[in-house]
Chains A and B, each alone.
Chain A
Amino acid sequence: GESVGLHLPTLSVQEGDNSIINCAYSNSASDYFIWYKQESGKGPQFIIDIRSNMDKRQGQRVTVLLNKTVKHLSLQIAATQPGDSAVYFCAETHTPPGANSKLTFGKGITLSVRP
């Protein structure tokens, strides 16, 4: 069945270090992937996305890497800051133009930044 899963439930990093959050997906038809950040008591917030015709995309301090061969997605956060402490979700979908597309979310991984 379709599933999107995260390898580790928690990740603790030192402030200033780089963080890498990994995610595996099982639906080979998926062609669009999104990372969300959820702070305590708030809704998920879009961070960055990537389509399956790319293997890397960069944003501000964040990079998403996609390895379609092994169906693996990662989020890299450079120079991790205390404000990055949150739960991070990967989500996947397939988006034929104009068709219904529903996101499948992973369980989430907690990033904790040590001062």
Chain B
Amino acid sequence: NAGVTQTPKFRILKIGQSMTLQCTQDMNHNYMYWYRQDPGMGLKLIYYSVGAGITDKGEVPNGYNVSRSTTEDFPLRLELAAPSQTSVYFCASSYVGYSGNTIYFGEGSWLTVV
């Protein structure tokens, strides 16, 4: 039972570098999300997608881009890494319907920008 899988687990970037955090889910969920979690804080929504081909900004989208070409995959792109993007990133997915919206999270990706 893989659930939500994200890679890499850890990464150190230099200021100005670019990278992509990969995320895939095998639960056929329609919604996918990227959150960031700063130390001692709750989760902030970066971007989300309600289905393949559709993405929307969350609370803190600046400095990030996403795409959703398939139901399973939702990569997060950092184009010009900045120290403010040092954080733990969580990918998540859910099936949104009449029964509610329970989100399932990946294990997290620890990113440090130096």
Contact = CB atoms under 8 A, between A and B. Distances in A.
B68 to A, nearest CB: 14
B40 interface: yes
Given A42-B108, A89-B43, A107-B41, A97 B50 contact: no
Chain B interface category by residue count: 20 to 34
Contacts of B53: none
A32 B101 contact: yes
Interface stretch (B11-19, B73-81, B92-100): B92-100
B28 interface: no
A43 B107 contact: yes
Interface residues of A, number: 25
A101 B92 CA distance: 14
Interface string B40-57: 111101001010000010
Nearest to B58: A102
23 contacts: A32-B101, A34-B102, A42-B108, A43-B4, A43-B90, A43-B106, A44-B43, A49-B102, A51-B100, A95-B96, A97-B98, A98-B97, A100-B48, A100-B56, A100-B96, A101-B101, A102-B58, A103-B45, A103-B101, A105-B42, A105-B43, A107-B40, A108-B41
Given A44-B90, A93-B101, 9 more contacts: A34-B102, A34-B103, A43-B92, A43-B105, A49-B102, A95-B101, A98-B97, A103-B103, A107-B41
Interface of B: 4, 33, 40-43, 45, 48, 50, 56, 58, 90, 92, 96-98, 100-108
4 closest cross-chain pairs (CB), A and B: A43-B105, A105-B42, A105-B43, A107-B42
Interface of A: 4, 9, 32, 34, 41-46, 49, 51, 89, 93, 95, 97-98, 100-103, 105-108
